[in-house]
Amino acid sequence: MIERRGEVRQESLDMIYSFIRRAIKERATDVHWEPYVESGKPEMVIRFRIDGMLKDMERFSEDKTRLGSVVNAIKIMASMDPTQKRFEQDGRFTVSIDNVDYDIRISAMPTILGEKIVMRLMDRKRYCMSLADLGMSKEVLDIVNPIIYKPEGFVIISGPTGSGKTTSLYSILQHIYSRDKNICTIEDPVEVKFVGINQIQVDHDFGMTFVKGLRAIMRQDPNVIAVGEMRDAETVRTALQAALVGAMVFSTVHAKDAINTIVRLLDMGVEPFFISTALTGIVSQRLLRLVCKICKGKGCMQCANTGFRRRTGLFEVLKINDIIRQLILRRASADELRAAAAEQGMLSFATSVEPLIAQGVTTREEIDRILAVE
């Protein structure tokens, strides 16, 4: 069941495997194995992240579970050095459960109480969703579809950490995939491997940066390029250049909404001319918790008494037109841009949420909560 066994205790393996199985069943995205001390007694707590929220699943006293041997086993399975406990390490392994392969990414970090492990469960299905399943409404799709199918252009997906940007990026690539296109990505890290897509992993040890990878891709006769995340001006400039010489480029930026995405690029030091010439659209997003359908939000076993179960994407889409281009060119303020975008009919978060509240699928408090995240 688990590909790499190495020198590990069966008892530890059974425990790891049972929590992974349980995490998959409960739709958890992350499993935390955390040293924990309360009133001087060493323990280990296992927490799952479900629908974006961490939840304590179980707590063990250390002698019962032999925390060290579990951590050791996870590190061996993930091809990490188990003897090295003083610095952070990362690795990955694959498990097959009910004939589905799950890539599991592992991070180990030394805390003052001992090593803490976080497992990220990479469920390939989660990254190949239809755009409608991501939560894109007909109104959103009417704007998004014409932009992403163009032979050239530049589309940015923005949002805070954990807003589902990578899922959207991968799903869009799957959506526009065809054998007559050369699709290349440069990612840090490659989260999920796809058939028929040329994925490059950023590797600082070998000098493979976003910029270097992008320049290499541009010499590879590309049609579609995806840049994992743009964090600096040089990466943005290079990606914009790729769009200007005739590729369709997709990337993600950490920004709270569509207008702030433009402001963020300008603040990075990217020339307004570059942005206004190449940028064609911005999709900004959040993941919104849905009211539990079983208990109608009162709280039940199925939703762990939170009143919420499952999530959907909430989107804001800005198509860049000549009016917005002119404003970018003269470095207009966020307020000016926002007013013009509203006038041009930008589908904003504010307009997207109204039908959801009217239908009772989420709550005003949940929307306020996710929109406050920057």
Rounded to an integer, what distance in angstroms lies between the CA atom of residue 93 and that of residue 4?
7
Q: Cβ 303 to Zn ion, closest distance in Å? A: 3
- The verdict on 300 binding Zn ion (CB under 5 A) reads yes
How many of the chain's residues bind Zn ion (CB under 5 A)? 6
Q: Which of residues 9-68 bind Zn ion (CB under 5 A)?
A: none
Instruction: Say how far apart CA 228 and CA 209 lie, in whole Å.
Output: 11
Stretch that binds Zn ion, among 191-199, 212-220, 300-308, 355-363 (CB under 5 A): 300-308
For residues 96-125, which are near Zn ion according to CB under 5 A? Answer: none
Q: 225 with 214: CB under 8 angstroms?
A: yes
* 303 belongs to the binding site for Zn ion (CB under 5 A): yes
Nearer to Zn ion, 44 or 303 (CB): 303
Name the residue number minimizing CB distance to Zn ion.
292
Smallest distance, Zn ion to C-beta of residue 58, A: 21
The nearest distance, CB 290 to Zn ion, in angstroms, is 11
Write out the binding residues for Zn ion, residues 275-294 only, by CB under 5 A. 292, 294
Residues 6+ apart with CB under 8 A from 212: none
Which of helix, strand or coil describes residue 203?
strand
- The encoded tokens of residue 281 equal 């659209």
**Residue closer to Zn ion (CB basis): 140 or 290:** 290
Torsion of CA 323, 327, 329, 331, to 10 degrees: -170
Tell me the closest approach of the beta carbon of residue 296 to Zn ion, in angstroms.
8
373 contacts Zn ion (rule: CB under 5 A): no
The CB-of-277 to Zn ion minimum distance in angstroms stands at: 50
3 state DSSP class of 108: strand
How much of the chain is helix, strand and coil, in % rounded to 5? 40, 30, 30
**CA 321 – CA 61 distance, rounded (Å):** 61
Q: For the chain, what is the radius of gyration of the CA atoms?
A: 22
Q: Considering beta carbons, is residue 53 or 294 the nearer one to Zn ion?
A: 294
In the complex, the smallest distance separating the C-beta of residue 291 from Zn ion, rounded to whole angstroms, is 8
**C-beta separation of 46 from 19 below 8 A:** yes
Which residue ranges make up the site for Zn ion (CB under 5 A)?
292, 294-295, 300, 302-303
